[in-house]
């Protein structure tokens, strides 16, 4: 077979983008402002700086500047693992017998194992520049905590990670990795914070949740001198940092004059999807293309497909600013599943606005179907995917099979956000056929919705 397009569409180190692309600048309808939870007025930079680092706060509130320079100190770190490979899935196309072309951007080649390092590096760099000594954060499945540990280690900052308790018990290797890079790990809920003690009092046997770990990390950051809190998804500045994924992808595709018809990504808080689609969505909003964008979420945590569009808190203890987004309610605790990175009640406000405006579609998939796709992909393409990424694989395969049915030769692109090396317990469960699916009932969702704040903006 002579290939017009190589299996790996390489970019050189020099082609690592020099700017992040801020999609908000090209949105006619901007996402709604973040609100201060006390005054219900738009949060000021000052409000947010009590919790977050200064430069990311500026980026968070910046709805107008299209291109934001990537400091050399961050680009330098990026050269350790970027540009990330963009791969033509020739094997998968052949195995499916589809006329479609399939491409995936592989963000799982760095040691932390996912795209999250892109924002971790940026946030640690800015914290160091600002003169901070330490950072706090939370981690669910462990990917963000690992990424932050690597970045904090590189830039010389102390890091405390509140790790959801069940997850810290299930994933000793994640813990070891974070500690190797110098982070301090605390299973959450813990007795080191008021938020943690309150939750433990109510439910001493709780396995914890991401929302609860966020509350603990924020509380510690606010109470500690020269310390701030960093978050790995949901917020606009995280999406901004992840735009590097989409820009690299677009540069490599443009080189071969490849125009995607469908772009698919898994969606937890929305950062990888928002980053992957950013430059392509910019073109769509400008009327220059008609790409379909599909967000894939777990059926067990269906923020887009069954959530409400409302102002909500980012954490269980209701301490964060209010974000207008698709949400299941900050009190919604998704059932245990193996895609920890997708178990978040809300969704980034930019993506929420785009979904509301009909620019983005969403699908929910059950975990056993997702793992069927993951194992198929591993056998055919050779790469073991993270459970989160496998949500995108599932829908990419469905779309490729639809092309087979209709004979259409579409170009399908999806984000392979991470490696499955740290999720072998999930694969053990799949192989042993003990994996189940939980789809929340309407009653369960109602209990979550009841925790959405009852404020005039939500009427």
Ligand X SMILES: *Cc1c(COP(=O)(O)O)cnc(C)c1O
Cα separation of 253 and 248, whole Å? 9
Q: Which of helix, strand or coil describes residue 162? A: strand
Binds ligand X by CB under 6 A, chosen from 22, 110, 114, 390: 114
By CB under 6 A, residue 417 contacts ligand X: yes
Nearer CB in complex with ligand X: 268/302: 268
Q: What is the spatial distance between Cα 309 and Cα 136, in angstroms, rounded to a whole number?
A: 29
Q: Please list, in sequence order, all residues whose beta carbon lies within 8 angstroms of the beta carbon of residue 233, skipping any fewer than 6 positions away.
A: 116, 144, 268, 269, 270, 271, 344, 348
* Nearer CB in complex with ligand X: 108/440: 108
With CA atoms as reference, report the closest residue to 87 among 8, 6, 171: 8
From 97-105, 157-165, 268-276, 368-376, give the range in contact with ligand X by CB under 6 A: 268-276
Residue tagged 């900052």 (tokens): 157
Applying CB under 6 A, among 268, 302, 307, 448 the residue interacting with ligand X is 268
Residue 271 sits in the site that holds ligand X (CB under 6 A): yes
The size of the interface with ligand X (CB under 6 A), counted in residues, is: 19
Which residues lie across from 327 on neighbouring strands? 308, 346
Radius of gyration of the chain (CA): 21
Q: Which of residues 132 and 273 has its CB atom nearest to ligand X in the complex?
A: 273
Q: Which two tokens stand for residue 220?
A: 């510690």
Q: Which is nearer to ligand X, 126 or 144 (CB)?
A: 144
Q: Please report how close the Cβ of residue 89 comes to ligand X at its closest, in angstroms.
A: 18
Task: For residue 136, give both structure tokens.
Answer: 């706090």
One DSSP character per residue, 289-338 reads ---EEEEEEETTS-HHHH-EEEEE-SSTTS-SPBEEEEES-TT--PPP-S
Q: How many CA atoms lie within 13 A of 336 on its CB side?
A: 12
- The reply on whether position 110 binds ligand X by CB under 6 A is no
- Nearest CB to ligand X, comparing residues 143 and 220: 143
Looking at the Cβ atoms of 227 and 339, the one nearer to ligand X is 339
CB of 384 to ligand X, least distance (A): 12
* Phi (first) and psi of residue 408, to 5 degrees: -80, 140
Region near ligand X per CB under 6 A, out of 75-83, 125-133, 261-269, 449-457: 261-269
Q: Determine which residue in the list 160, 220, 272, 316 makes contact with ligand X, applying CB under 6 A.
A: 272
Considering only the stretches 166-174, 270-278, 282-290, 307-315, report the one whose residues sit in contact with ligand X under the rule CB under 6 A.
270-278
* Sites for ligand X among residues 15-74 (CB under 6 A): none
Q: Toward ligand X, which CB reaches closer, 100 or 178?
A: 178
Which residue is nearest to ligand X, using beta carbons? 418
Spatial separation of the C-alpha atoms in residues 260 and 412, rounded to whole Å = 6
The 325-344 contact track toward ligand X, x by CB under 6 A, reads ----------------xx--
Closest CB to ligand X among 22 and 193? 22
Which of residues 110, 123, 139, 143 is near ligand X by CB under 6 A? 143
14: phi > 0 → left, psi -120 to 50 → alpha, else beta; which? alpha
Residues 342-401 that bind ligand X (CB under 6 A): 342, 386, 388-389
- DSSP helix/strand/coil, 263: strand
Instruction: Please tell me the distance from the alpha carbon of residue 347 to that of residue 307, in angstroms, as a whole number.
Output: 10
For residues 233 and 320, which CB has a smaller minimum distance to ligand X in the complex? 233
Q: How far is the CB of 342 from ligand X (least distance, A)?
A: 6
Report which of 315, 317, 316, 297 is spatially closest to residue 307, judged by C-alpha positions.
297
Asked if residue 61 lies in contact with residue 45, where contact means CB atoms within 8 angstroms, the answer is yes
Q: State the nearest-atom distance from the C-beta of 11 to ligand X, in Å.
A: 21
In terms of CB distance, is 277 or 403 closer to ligand X? 277
Look at residue 244 and give its three-state secondary structure. helix
- Collapsing DSSP states into helix, strand and coil, what is residue 61? helix
Shortest reach from residue 143's CB to ligand X, in Å: 3
Residues making contact with ligand X (CB under 6 A): 114, 116, 143, 233, 266-273, 341-342, 386, 388-389, 417-418
């Amino acid at each position: 077979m002579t290939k017009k397009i190589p299996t790996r569409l390489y970019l050189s180190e020099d082609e690592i983008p020099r700017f992040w692309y801020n999609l908000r600048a090209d949105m006619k309808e901007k996402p709604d402002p973040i609100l201060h939870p006390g005054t219900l007025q738009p949060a000021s930079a000052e409000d947010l700086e009590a919790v977050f680092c200064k430069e990311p706060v500026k980026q968070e509130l910046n709805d107008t500047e299209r291109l934001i320079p990537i400091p050399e100190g961050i680009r330098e770190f990026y050269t350790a693992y970027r540009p990330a490979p963009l791969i033509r899935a020739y094997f998968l196309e052949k195995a499916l017998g589809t006329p479609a072309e399939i491409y995936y951007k592989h963000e799982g080649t760095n040691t932390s194992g996912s795209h999250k390092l892109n924002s971790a590096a940026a946030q640690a760099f800015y914290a160091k520049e600002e003169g901070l000594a330490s950072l706090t954060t939370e981690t669910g499945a462990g990917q963000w905590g690992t990424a932050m540990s690597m970045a904090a280690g590189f830039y010389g900052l102390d890091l405390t990670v509140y790790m959801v308790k069940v997850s810290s018990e299930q994933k000793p290797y994640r813990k070891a990795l974070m500690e190797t890079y110098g982070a301090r790990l605390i299973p959450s809920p813990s007795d080191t914070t008021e938020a943690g003690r309150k939750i433990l009092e109510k439910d001493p046997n709780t396995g914890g949740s991401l929302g609860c770990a966020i509350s603990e990390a924020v509380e510690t950051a606010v109470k500690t001198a020269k310390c701030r809190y960093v978050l790995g998804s949901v917020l606009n500045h995280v999406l901004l940092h992840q735009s590097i994924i989409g820009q690299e992808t677009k540069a490599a595709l443009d080189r071969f004059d490849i125009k995607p018809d469908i772009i698919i990504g898994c969606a937890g808080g929305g950062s990888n999807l928002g980053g992957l689609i950013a430059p392509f969505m910019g073109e769509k909003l400008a009327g220059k293309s008609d790409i379909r964008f599909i967000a894939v979420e777990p059926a067990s945590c269906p923020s887009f497909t069954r959530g409400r569009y409302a102002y909500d808190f980012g954490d269980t203890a209701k301490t964060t600013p209010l974000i207008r987004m698709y949400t299941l309610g900050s009190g919604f605790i998704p059932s245990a599943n193996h895609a920890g990175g997708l178990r978040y009640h809300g969704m980034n406000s930019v993506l929420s606005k785009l979904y509301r405006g009909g620019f983005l579609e969403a699908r929910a998939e059950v975990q056993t179907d997702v793992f069927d796709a993951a194992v198929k992909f591993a056998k055919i393409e050779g790469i073991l995917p993270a459970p989160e990424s496998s949500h995108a694989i599932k829908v990419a395969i469905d779309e490729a099979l639809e092309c087979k049915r209709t004979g259409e030769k579409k170009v399908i692109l999806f984000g392979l956000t991470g490696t499955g090396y740290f999720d072998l317990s999930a694969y053990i469960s799949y192989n042993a056929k003990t994996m189940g699916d939980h789809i929340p009932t309407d009653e369960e969702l109602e209990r979550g919705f009841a925790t959405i704040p009852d404020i005039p903006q939500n009427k």
